[in-house]
Chains A and B, each alone.
Chain A
Amino acid sequence: MTVESSFSLLGRLTPQDISFVQTFENPVMSEFIDGAAGSVLVIGMIIVAALLTYYRGWKTLWFDWLTSVDHKKVGIMYIVVAFVMLARAIIEGVLMRYQQSIAVNDPGVLTPDHFGQLFSTHGSIMIFFMAMPFITGMINYIMPQQIGARDVSFPLLNAISLWLTAAGAALVMISLVVGKFSTGGWTAYPPYTGIEFSPGEGVDYWIWSISLTSIGSTLTGVNFATTIYKNRAPGMTLFRMPLFCWTSLCTSVLMIFAMAPLTIATLMLALDRYAGFHFFTNDLGGNMMNYANLFWLFGHPEVYILILPAFGVFSEVISTFSGKTIYGYKSLVVATMSIAVLSFTVWLHHFFTMGQGANVNAIFGIATMLIGVPTGVKVYDWLLTMVRGRIRLTTAMLFSIMFLVTFVIGGLTGVILANPPVDFAVHNSLFLVAHFHNMVIPGVLFGMIAGYQFWFPKAFGFRLAERWGKASFWCWSFGFYLTFMPLYVLGLMGAMRRTVEWFRPEYLGWLQVSFVGALLLFSGFIFLCVQLIVSVRQRDQRRVPAGDPWDGRSLEWSNSAPPPEYNFAVIPEVSGQDAFTRLKEQGKAYASPTAYDDIVVPKNSIVAPVIGVGAIALGFALVWHIWWLVALGFVTMWGAVIARSFVTETERVIPASKVRADHEAWLQQVRECATTSREQEDTSANVGRAEVLA
């Protein structure tokens, strides 16, 4: 570092780091794509700002959303972040499939550097800024309502977690316009990501965006676990909780224990890069394999952090749309817990090829296969839940069924990879790429889309258009198979991941099929957007004010759609599993409570957005070595925390009379609603009051 740059007001930032300048100076295809992506981001933000101004939405945005600590709004904002990031990462995926499909003995359209950034951002975004916010948002929205709580245990902390995650996502987005992102993949293995081999700002973008979100997720884990342990309604014993709450609990515990190694690993890598440490360098006692161990000590539980909430969604969706209680509830709980515990014992299978002894590999291989037992049990439990039910093939149900079929194929290839000798042959290959997409697309993304279809009417008060949902489903399903089955074959043929150019003509056909599949996957995403737009426009014919459009079984269906900010006018008493179904059968659903009490809810707070903005500034300044801004960002974040400790009035009271008036009005409305049979589910007759089946 020169003296000049270390004292510059903008640190290492120069005009040449702005992507449009690069495109202007070097107008080749790869730079053009990069510039176009940056333009889409900038123009998109301008359009959003213009629309907000035109519709006078800034006030609503600030007071009803950004400063809100209501778990439902925080949850929805998490999912908005997930959708925005999904849009970017899925386009990156398509772009990579396109590059590979034309780059057989041909350099294609992307430079190796651009391609490296694409697979790094694609992976990092999909895991940390798509899947994580999606599951966190889903748990945020649903879990407190399922256990009969009015909010999470620490509402402000919840908003802070959101803003830390959003700050990380913002950094990744900023890297599209200012500077470059890492080319070290989502795992960022040193020494390649060390300062010697990756001297630019890219890895620093990765480090700080991941550090911020990993701290946010740790706090989320603490918050959710405390909520489930402490905030359950009377009678809601652990073994009466819906399965989604069980999987949320397991995920929260995993977050608490598994995020820490990641935070530590990224900060150690930062010390290597910024302060000349030698944790993971080639020389002076550094050892890159310590990083691999730390990373996967996080990375493997992370797989289950993501997939368990989706398992919870599938349990709820399959049970509801089969009109039947879940089969083998306790068995599923035991299986979920077993998976959570075992997930900490298998991390080494990510690097069987490190050169350790056969006994170490064998033990971790067998531990890995053991996870297959509870997972297999779950698959059959879901199947048996459908048996003797009344199955309705709604969009959410279709995604769940396609998950079952597809996930077992991923399970098969997982068991193949669990075998150290076979792993030696397919490690780092496209077979591996196909495998983990085979787990996370059906396992996580299908789960989240199913949950989104299932709970959307609860959150917004109207049903989504099934026709577009099903169109999207078919695109996602065929798209998945077309994209990733060829990758399995290519992996067996010796094609490796992260390859920008091929030299083997026999790969060509498979790569082309895979690209067509990627286009279908993208169409699936577009149809989801169309579905949302169409449904919003038809919202008046799709309203479900009574709040129970699917004949739901758990407590979140017992209140209005959308629910009041306090969720429950009176905290329900729970007498067994499937709490709401029980109330409906006993004729106690929609009965007027005998008494109402004042309800205390947390006030809005600007602390979380201030911390978020401070975090963006801090991260950006660290990336570009702008030291004054580092100090400012740090002081802003902690200043907000300290200032908050002087605020004494953090809650407000909603008087019992207001609660009574609102709730009784809603109950009156429900009683006037006609009940809907399951055959009428997808018609305008469905206003959210389900016919009770005798």
Chain B
Amino acid sequence: MFSVATTASNGFINPAGPIAEALRDHLIFIVMVMAVVIVPLFIALPWTLWRYRLRTKSGSYQPNWEFSWPLEILIWGLPAVIVVVLGWNLWHQSYELDPYKPLAAAEAPLEIQAIALDWKWVFIYPDQNVASVNEVMIVAGRPVRFRLTSGTVMQSFMIPRLGGQIYTMAGMETQMNLLASEPGQFRGLNTQYNGMGFANQKFITHAVSQADFDAWATKMSDSKPPLNQAAWALLAKPSVLAAPQSFGSVAEGLFTWVIAGFTGGHPHMKADGTDL
């Protein structure tokens, strides 16, 4: 029941990319190592309760027994060894799976800028100069680099089947590198409570082929309205959208401008992400 339900689920336990897969494997590794200290307790505790019960005939009663060096070394030593093993592993995994770390791949990553609003996600594709709201288009098999910020309260960006999450904060930029192995649709969401529309703040991730992606971008450019100041002002108002929206062009430097709006009008970086 457990495996069936979780396989059908949209969690990282049912991974659709190398990052989520690594996270799941890491979780299983920790559980197995920890079993070394936990399983003995589950065996020893019932045994102790039975053997030393009040009406027992077997267990010897030694009310003043209070110490044993061999046992002491074992109960301090074993957890210590386990922490060393897990700590070593943790250290390497923290660097290996750092969300800022670019993913190794032949192709350059697809660049997407994500802006968290109440209660929606805006995705800007700077190279294609298009934007989408509450759905994001990525290329299967090609790394994607999200640069994220918030136009409102702090939120947390996550596509569970692809990987972990990262906070988005007003006036600041965070990053997340992900990869979808195969084409598919994956749920994404904000995980940080931000008010009345929180439960509805979901988006769909479409992982498609490069050709489909290019066709989609071209179609957007040709047919959709621009994401200009007026459109932005409307989006920035707290609301839950009935359906995803699309924009065929994006005001230049919108992402940087949103960040700069909270930092006193002095952007700390240019639109291309380099420092001033």
By a beta-carbon cutoff of 8 Å, the part of chain A in contact with chain B is 112-113, 116, 183-185, 189, 191-192, 197, 282-285, 288-289, 322-329, 331, 351, 353-355, 357-359, 361-362, 365-366, 369-370, 372-373, 376-377, 379-381, 383-384, 386-393, 401, 404-405, 408-409, 411-412, 415-416, 418-429, 489, 491-504, 506, 509-510, 678-679, 693
A415-B12 contact given A391-B49, A503-B202, A509-B5, CB 8 Å threshold = no
**What separation, in Å, do the CA atoms of A497 and B194 have in the docked complex?**
12
Contact check, B174 vs A376: say whether CB atoms are below 8 A apart.
no
B165 touches which one: A183, A353, A369 (CB < 8 A)?
Answer: A353
Q: How far is the CA of A296 from the CA of B5 in the complex (A)?
A: 35
Q: Determine if B60 and A390 form an interchain contact, defined as CB atoms under 8 angstroms apart.
A: no
Could you write out 13 A-B pairs with CB less than 8 Å apart?
A358-B100, A379-B41, A390-B54, A392-B54, A416-B27, A419-B30, A420-B97, A421-B97, A427-B165, A492-B6, A492-B12, A494-B9, A496-B191
Give the size of the chain B interface in residues (CB under 8 angstroms): 98
- Would you call A377 and B76 a contact (CB within 8 A)? yes
Give CA–CA (A377, B193) in the complex, Å: 37
Report the minimum CB–CB distance from A674 to chain B (whole Å).
19
Give bound CA distance, A594 to B23, whole Å: 70
* Of B5, B152, B198, the contact of A510 (CB 8 Å cutoff): B5
B111 shortest CB reach to chain A, Å? 18
Complex contacts, A499 vs chain B, CB 8 Å: 198-199
Of chain B, the residue at the smallest CB distance from A693 is B63
Residues of B participating in the A interface, judged by any CB pair closer than 8 Å: 2, 5-6, 8-14, 20, 22-24, 26-27, 30-31, 34, 37-38, 41-42, 44-45, 48-49, 52-56, 59-68, 71-72, 75-76, 78-80, 82-83, 86-87, 90-91, 93-101, 152-154, 156, 160-161, 163-167, 169-172, 174-175, 187, 189, 191-200, 202, 261-264
**What chain B residues lie within 8 Å of A112 (beta carbons)?**
195-199
In the bound complex, how far is the Cα of B14 from the Cα of A379, in angstroms?
34
Q: Are A498 and B72 in contact (CB under 8 A)?
A: no
Given the contacts A391-B49, A494-B187, A501 and B171 also touching, CB distance less than 8 Å: no
Q: Are B45 and A329 in contact (CB under 8 A)?
A: no
CA distance A282 to B161 in the complex (A): 31
Closest 7 CB pairs of A and B: A424-B164, A493-B9, A494-B11, A355-B174, A494-B160, A428-B191, A421-B97
Chain A residue numbers with a CB within 8 Å of B166 are 353, 355, 424
Give the Cβ gap from A438 to chain B, nearest Cβ, in Å: 13
Give the distance in Å from the alpha carbon of A561 to the alpha carbon of B166 in the complex. Answer: 56
Q: A358-B95, A380-B75, A386-B49 are known contacts; what are 19 more A-B pairs with Cβ within 8 Å?
A: A112-B199, A191-B152, A283-B262, A283-B264, A324-B63, A331-B72, A355-B167, A357-B98, A365-B87, A376-B79, A389-B61, A393-B49, A408-B37, A489-B6, A492-B12, A493-B14, A499-B198, A506-B8, A693-B63
Give the distance in Å from the alpha carbon of A427 to the alpha carbon of B262 in the complex.
Answer: 27
Minimum distance in angstroms from A446 CB to a CB of chain B: 15
- The reply to whether A282 and B52 contact each other, CB–CB distance below 8 Å, is no
A50 to chain B, nearest CB (A): 40
A191 touches B41 (CB 8 A): no
CB-based contact A388/B175 at 8 Å: no
Partner of B193, one of A328, A497, A506: A497
Please state if B199 and A501 are interface contacts (CB–CB under 8 Å): yes
Assembly CA distance A354 to B176 (angstroms) = 11
Q: Which residues of B contact A372 (CB under 8 A)?
A: 79, 82-83
Q: How far is the CA of A503 from the CA of B52 in the complex (A)?
A: 52
With a cutoff of 8 Å between Cβ atoms, the chain B residues found around residue A501 in the complex are 199-200
Q: B13 — which chain A residues lie within 8 A by C-beta?
A: 492-493
Residues of the B chain whose Cβ atoms lie less than 8 Å from the Cβ of A401: 45, 49
Set of chain A residues within 8 Å of B192, measured between Cβ atoms: 189, 428
What residues of chain B lie closer than 8 Å to A498, measured between beta carbons?
193, 198
Q: Closest CB of chain B to A426's CB: distance in Å?
A: 8
By a CB distance below 8 angstroms, the chain A residues around B49 are: 386, 391, 393, 401
Q: In the complex, which residues of chain B have a beta carbon less than 8 angstroms from the beta carbon of A113?
A: 196
What is the bound-complex CA distance between A429 and B13, given in angstroms? 13
Contact between chains at A405 and B93 (CB < 8 Å): no
Contact of A373 among B65, B80, B165, B195 (CB under 8 A): B80
Please give the distance in Å from B139's CB to the nearest CB on chain A.
23
Closest to B87 in A: A366
Given contacts A191-B154, A373-B83, A496-B191, contact A328 B198 (CB under 8 A): no
Measured in the bound complex, the distance between the Cα atoms of B142 and A344 in whole Å is 42
Contact A192 B193, beta carbon cutoff 8 Å: yes
Report yes or no: B164 in contact with A383, Cβ–Cβ below 8 A. no
A192 contacts B11, C-beta separation under 8 Å: no
Q: B65 to chain A: which residues have CB within 8 Å?
A: 324-325, 327, 387-388
- Please measure, in the bound complex, the distance between the C-alpha atom of A131 and the C-alpha atom of B91, giving whole angstroms: 35
Given A283-B264, A412-B34, A494-B12, check contact A326 B66 (CB 8 Å).
yes
Which of chain A's residues have a CB closer than 8 A to the CB of B164? 353, 421, 423-425, 427
B54 CB to nearest A CB, Å: 5
Query: Could you say which residues of chain A place their CB within 8 Å of the CB of B52?
Result: 322, 386-391
Given contacts A197-B153, A379-B41, contact A425 B193 (CB under 8 A): no
The residue from A197, A423, A492 contacting B152, defined by CB atoms under 8 A apart: A197
Alpha-carbon gap, A168 to B192, bound state (A): 27
Chain A residues with Cβ under 8 A from B22's Cβ? 421
Chain B nearest Cβ from A425, distance in angstroms: 4
A192, A381, A498 — most chain B CB neighbours (10 Å): A192
Complex CA gap A501/B50 in Å reads 47
In the complex the two chains form, what is the Cα distance from A27 to B55 in whole Å? 61
Query: With A373-B80, A492-B6, A492-B11 given, is the CB distance from A404 to B90 under 8 Å?
Result: no
Nearest B residue to A499, CB-CB = B199
| Across-interface contacts of B202 in A (CB, < 8 A) | 503
CA distance A114 to B83 in the complex (A): 43
Question: Min CB distance, B240 to chain A, in Å?
Answer: 10
Tell me if A189 and B97 are in contact (CB < 8 A).
no
Question: Given contacts A192-B153, A428-B191, A679-B54, are A282 and B31 in contact (CB under 8 A)?
Answer: no
Complex contact A427–B61 (CB within 8 A): no
Q: How far is the CB of A423 from chain B (nearest CB, A)?
A: 8
Q: Is A362 a contact partner of B38 (Cβ separation < 8 A)? A: no
Q: A494-B187, A501-B199 are in contact. Are A376 and B99 (CB under 8 A)?
A: no
Task: Find chain A residues with CB under 8 A from B76 CB.
Answer: 331, 373, 377
**In the complex, A498→B68 CA distance in Å?**
48
- Which one of B5, B54, B160, B172 lies within 8 Å of A489 (CB-CB)? B5
Check A405 against B42 for contact (C-beta < 8 Å): yes
